[in-house]
């Protein structure tokens, strides 16, 4: 990558970060759109942009601490453009070694001038060079700063899981994780798909505990993999694949997934219930269109998608289903690695509101479970009020259900943070 290209790539990363950190765009959605727009860039250039954007977002609190350690003007008081430039520069100096620090400082001075802040270019230069000089002396002594996690979340998890487990959770978000995919076993065996992907230069690792799961790395983009277009696999985290496995689906089961978009769990259920049927519902036309797009790509024949508000009771569904999949709206604190801005956007109040919504939906959808059937409740969060306490409260008011199996997964190199509770109806 030439220096000139790096300037352009930094500019792309800067404009992306400004939208995410200052204008509230969702990082995973906005970055994907940017990478799609610049699909003509080579693999290394897009990897550079991705790392710089994601790294700056996930380390934002720590980067502000670094900036504040050496600058009289604190990060919060800086103009948004300068603050974004400073965060990017600090991230590169601390976590990227593709160019010397002096060259990095120069590039961000140029970027400040390019964005119309020539008058502050000396300030940018001074602060970034101070960061470079002092980086070995700057220490992160508390979990909030060390792992760039809001203090209220650190406090909450420390109360619920203890300090040692909290640090393991926080560290888990910074472990590298290969992309987990679910093989479409209706179309191809896992071994055959692995061989085809290996022949394309893609690195493969088989999951030991889920027969449909593979981990892949060293690929350019999903859209460029013919096997993805053919519907031979679906991107789905290990923990998400575990839902259908734990639900113990039988070949002729009638199943409903009440909050199904984008459709991964519903499609997995449809594969396991080869002689049954899956109804996949979600709230909006856009979400239903997303489910239908994935149904079409994977050519699943025993699943239908429809729009339905999960908080509204459907009389036609009462006592109808062998399995109800309730993967409900949640705070998403288990998937911070994939959506790093989530930790800055949630509040204790929003968690309480989500727990109330989950209760409301569970009270409705549990009525769809036939006698002897299964209710599988799941979230992609780490928060007892949305998980264990939610289940406990549900069972107190629905005595006909009993827990069959319950798991809280914490993030590591194999999977995201996730909660699953399988309940049987007497």
Which residues participate in catalysis according to the annotation? 380
Q: Are 30 and 19 in contact (CB under 8 A)?
A: yes
Please provide the distance, in angstroms rounded to a whole number, between the alpha carbons at the two ends of the chain: 63
Torsion of CA 190, 193, 198, 201, to 10 degrees: -130
Helix (H, G, I), strand (E, B), or coil: what is residue 347? Answer: coil
Task: Determine contact, residues 255/273, Cβ cutoff 8 Å.
Answer: yes
Tell me the three state secondary structure of residue 145: helix
Interior CA angle at 355 toward 351 and 356, to 5°? 120
| Residue whose tokens read 């109040």 | 349
Q: How far is CA 298 from the centre of its chain?
A: 22
Which ranges of 100-140 does DSSP label H, i.e. alpha helix?
Answer: 101-114, 121-134
Report whether 328 contacts 379 (CB < 8 A): yes
Q: How far is Cα 354 from Cα 380, in angstroms, rounded to an integer?
A: 12
Q: Is 252 within 8 Å of 275 (Cβ atoms)?
A: yes
CA 32 – CA 36 distance, rounded (Å): 6
**Residue 344 · residue 60 · CB < 8 Å:** yes
Q: Give the rounded distance of the alpha carbon of 217 from its chain centre.
A: 17
What beta strand segments (E) does 232-384 contain? 233-235, 254-257, 277-282, 303-307, 321-327, 369-379
Nearest residue to 247 via CA among 260, 257, 235: 257
- The answer to whether 114 and 78 are in contact (CB under 8 A) is no
DSSP assignment of 245-276 equals HHTT--TT-EEEETT-TT-HHHHHHHHH-TTS
């Amino acid at each position: 990558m030439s220096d000139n290209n790096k300037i352009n790539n930094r500019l792309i990363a800067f404009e992306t970060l400004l939208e995410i950190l200052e204008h509230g765009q969702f990082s995973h959605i906005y970055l994907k759109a940017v990478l799609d727009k610049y699909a003509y860039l080579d693999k290394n250039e897009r990897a550079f942009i991705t790392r710089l954007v994601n790294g700056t977002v996930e380390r934002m609190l720590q980067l502000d601490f670094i900036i504040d350690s050496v600058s009289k003007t604190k990060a919060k008081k800086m103009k948004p453009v300068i603050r974004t430039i400073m965060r990017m520069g600090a991230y590169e100096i601390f976590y990227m070694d593709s160019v010397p620090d002096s060259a990095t400082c120069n590039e961000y001075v140029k970027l400040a001038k390019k964005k119309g802040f020539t008058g502050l270019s000396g300030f940018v230069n001074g602060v970034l060079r101070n960061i470079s000089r002092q980086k070995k002396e700057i220490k992160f002594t508390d979990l909030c700063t060390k792992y760039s996690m809001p203090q209220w979340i650190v406090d909450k998890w420390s109360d619920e899981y203890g300090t040692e487990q909290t640090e393991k959770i926080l560290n888990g978000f910074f472990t590298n994780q290969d992309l987990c995919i679910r093989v479409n076993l209706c179309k191809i065996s896992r071994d055959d798909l692995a061989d085809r992907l290996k022949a394309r230069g893609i690195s493969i690792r088989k999951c030991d505990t889920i027969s449909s799961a593979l981990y892949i790395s060293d690929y350019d983009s999903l859209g460029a993999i013919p096997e993805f277009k053919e519907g031979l696999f679906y991107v789905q985290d290990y923990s998400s694949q575990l839902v259908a496995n734990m639900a113990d689906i039988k070949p002729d089961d009638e199943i409903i997934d009440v909050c199904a978009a984008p459709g991964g769990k519903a499609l997995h259920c449809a594969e396991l219930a080869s002689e049954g049927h899956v109804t996949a519902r979600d709230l909006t036309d856009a979400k239903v269109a997303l489910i239908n797009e994935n149904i079409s790509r994977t050519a699943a024949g025993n699943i239908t998608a429809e729009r339905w508000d999960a908080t509204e009771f459907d009389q036609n569904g009462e006592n109808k289903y062998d399995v109800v999949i309730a993967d409900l709206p949640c705070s998403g604190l288990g998937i911070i690695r994939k959506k790093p801005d989530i930790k800055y956007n949630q509040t204790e109040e929003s968690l309480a509101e989500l727990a109330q919504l989950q209760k409301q939906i569970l009270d409705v959808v549990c009525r769809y479970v036939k006698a002897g059937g299964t209710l599988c409740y799941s979230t992609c969060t780490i928060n007892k009020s949305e998980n264990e306490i939610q289940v406990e409260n549900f069972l107190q008011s629905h005595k006909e259900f009993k827990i069959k199996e319950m798991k809280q997964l914490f993030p590591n190199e194999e999977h995201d943070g996730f909660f699953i509770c399988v309940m049987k109806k007497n």
